Amino acid sequence: MAHTEERIVEPNTTVIERSGGGGTAVIAAILVILAAVAAYFLLVNDNRKTDAVTGAAQAIEKTADKAGDKIDGQ
């Protein structure tokens, strides 16, 4: 909860001081944690996709080698 204090410094000047309860820092910390978790999942999924593509390429290579061997008569 915000605390407001009002002081009169001169007859025509009013100074208002406000201090917050630190809610902004908590929200910022939560956002940083959420960003870190999201980045982790993006990296993990990217690695899985890379592994899947690599596996598929290796399977195609083996199939192509077998086809080439059949064509060559081996």
Cite the beta strand spans of 1-74 per DSSP E: 3-10, 13-19
Domain ranges in the chain are: 3-72
The per-residue pLDDT for 39 is 87
1, pLDDT greater than 60: no
63, pLDDT greater than 80: yes
The per-residue pLDDT for 21 is 67
The per-residue pLDDT for 14 is 67
The per-residue pLDDT for 34 is 92
The model carries a pTM of 0.42
The per-residue pLDDT for 54 is 83
31, pLDDT greater than 80: yes
